[in-house]
Structure formats: structure tokens, C-alpha cells
Structure 1
């Protein structure tokens, strides 16, 4: 039998994830400085950008794949880019606060850890200047930024006056339900 290269099956290359097409995140998401760009505005811009580039799951509480999962390496690289986006769109003072609590010398941390730390840090900062943010206000802020497909669970969370942890668990369960 003759070996005919024309009849060989050539594998289709895997398409590049959209996250790799972003070159200057600051052109898309303005730098959070607390003055010109407020936290709530920054969150809206960042979530919009994360949704458009298919990385919202890196900041919305979605569990990462297990380290033994074949997709983990790719997920980890994309997560590092999202972490760079977060840190690259913060003023120097916010970067310092977030980065000292994210990861260790052996592990760089995740985008979700930075996202959560920034949220916690800004709530603490408002508390320090006698403008405390109640947990119910934080929960309301979280559900306000959810996509439309979460409207039912968001409504239930606000009506039941759920805690931050309970609300986040409910959103994660809804996300798993929708994925199933």
C-alpha cells in the first residue's frame, strides 16, 4: 500500500481563546483609583470585559478544574492573564493592598482571590472612614452585577436577605444547574 500524503488527515488547529487577543487592558477597563473611577463603575466595566472575552468564570465564583483535569493547565494560564488584568487596572495603592494578600511565594494566586480581596478591602476601607457597608448592601451589589439568566436566584437572594456566603453558594448552585 502506498503512503499518500494527500489523503492524510490533518488535525484542525484548536482556536485561540479570545483572552489572548487583548493587548492593552487599560484601553478597555479604566484604572480603579477611587476618585475618577469608582469601585462599582470599575466592577461593571471589568465584568463586561470579562464576559466579552469569555473569562467571567474566573471572577464569578466558578470553581476551577481540578489540577488533574486535562484542561487545568490552559485554565491556569488564562487565569493568570485575568489576574494580570485585575492588577493592571488598579491604582498603585490598590495593587499593593491586593497583591500582599493574594498567593504565596510558591503560588501566584488566582484572579478570584484578587477579585474577592479587592471587594473585601474596599468594604473595609469604607468602614475605616465611618462609612460602613452592611453585608446586605454587599449582597445587593453582588446580585446587581449578575447576568439576566440569574434574575430568579438574584430575586430570591434579595427577598430572603441572604448572607454574603449563602448568596454566593446559591449563585454557584444556580451556575452548576444551568451548566448541567
Structure 2
């Protein structure tokens, strides 16, 4: 996957290279979803070329994915989740996905987002959290304490 050109068929090492390339290509294909596999599958392709195709698909998708994830982060509310733990897990997963598209969410923003989408009955604890600017874990514990 280092960009080295494939060996010529007349090269004595070609057979070993071809076998390894085919093995890596099978691994790549086995890791793809059916939709993505259909876009990448080719009968005359090296593992490197398949990898570049996949990379191009994701890079071209990056901006759209970013917009979708930002919208999801902004609109995720406690009421849309089945528990507070699920709400926190959903927010952290979206933040991790945003990091994967080169748009990291810092802890402070994550806390603000968590508090911002709490129901009205959490207004008092939300004010305290906003004033004290605690870490994610401390803010989470404060809300859990409020629930009990």
C-alpha cells in the first residue's frame, strides 16, 4: 500500500507479489459493505488501486458527512434517546465521527451541546453547569445526580 508500482510479470518475484496482492485485495473486499463493494469491485485491479478508490470515495463524501454529523450533533436531544446513558453515548459517538472527518469536537463544546438539548426540567442544573464549565464526566455526573 506504499504506492510502489506492481511488478512486471517477467520478474521472478511477480508470483509472490501477485499472491500477496490478491490476499490483501480479498481482505479489503471482505471488509466493505455491499454498497461500497459494488463501487470498488473490479476484476483487474491491485490492492493499491482498490485502496485509492475507497479513499477517493470517502474524501469526496467528507464534506457531506461533516454537514450531516454537525446537524445530528446539534439536533440530538435527551428526549430522542431512550436513556441519559444512551444520550451521552450518542453525543460522544457523533463527536468521534466528526473527529474522523477532521472536525474534532472539544470537551467544552460537547458539554454545552449536552446541556443545551436537555428538557426544561433540567434548567437549574443546566445553569449551574454552564456557569461552572465542568468537564464532560463531571457534567454528566451532575445531571445523573439531578435525575436521582
**Interval containing the TM-score (normalised by the shorter chain):** 0.3 to 0.5
TM-score (structure 2 length as normaliser): 0.46
TM-score (structure 1 length as normaliser): 0.39
Kindly name which structure, 1 or 2, has the bigger radius of gyration based on alpha carbons.
Answer: 2
Which structure dedicates a bigger proportion of its chain to helix?
2
